[in-house]
Amino acid sequence: MGKHSGMSTALALLLSAGMACAEEPASETSTLKESAKAAVSSAISAGKNLLGGASEGVTEGRESAQGADGALIISQLDQLDGKVEVKLLKVEAVEGNLSALLGFKNLTDKPVRLINLWQNGALLAIDQDDYSSNLVPGIDNPDEVTVPPKTGVRQKFVFQGPVEGPKSLRLWGKDFSVAK
Which pLDDT does position 49 carry in this prediction?
Answer: 59
Examine the domain organization and report whether 28 and 76 are in the same domain: no
Per-residue pLDDT tens digits for 79-118 = 999 999 999 999 998 888 999 999 999 999 999 999 999 9
Q: Percentage of residues in the chain with pLDDT exceeding 90?
A: 46
**Residue 143, domain extent:** 72-176
pLDDT band, very low/low/confident/very high, at 10 (cuts 50, 70, 90):
very low
d(CA 143, CA 174): 18
Per-residue pLDDT tens digits for 17-46 = 444 445 555 566 667 667 666 666 666 655
Residue 53 has pLDDT above 60, yes or no: no
Examine the domain organization and report whether 61 and 119 are in the same domain: no
**Among 15, 33, 67, where does a domain finish?**
67
Examine the domain organization and report whether 85 and 143 are in the same domain: yes
Examine the domain organization and report whether 109 and 158 are in the same domain: yes
Which pLDDT does position 48 carry in this prediction?
Answer: 54
Examine the domain organization and report whether 63 and 85 are in the same domain: no
**Rg, C-alpha atoms of the chain:** 26
In this structure, the dihedral spanned by the alpha carbons of residues 130, 134, 162 and 94, taken in order and rounded to 10 degrees, is 130
Residue 11 has pLDDT above 60, yes or no: no
d(CA 47, CA 124): 28
CATH of the domain at 139: 2.60.40.1240
Examine the domain organization and report whether 63 and 76 are in the same domain: no
Which pLDDT does position 157 carry in this prediction?
Answer: 95
41, exposed or middle or buried, with CB in 10 Å at 0-12, 13-18, 19+? exposed
Reported for 74-82, long-range contacts at CB under 8 A and 24+ positions apart, including other chains, are 74/112, 74/113, 74/114, 74/115, 75/114, 75/115, 75/116, 76/172, 77/171, 77/172, 77/173, 77/174, 80/172, 82/107
Examine the domain organization and report whether 63 and 78 are in the same domain: no
Mean pLDDT of the chain: 77
**Among 15, 42, 67, where does a domain finish?**
67
**Among 67, 83, 100, where does a domain finish?**
67
β-pairing, 72-74 vs 112-114, is parallel
Per-residue pLDDT tens digits for 41-50 = 666 655 555 5
Report the number of distinct structural domains present in the chain. 2
Examine the domain organization and report whether 157 and 79 are in the same domain: yes
Examine the domain organization and report whether 76 and 59 are in the same domain: no
Which pLDDT does position 166 carry in this prediction?
Answer: 81
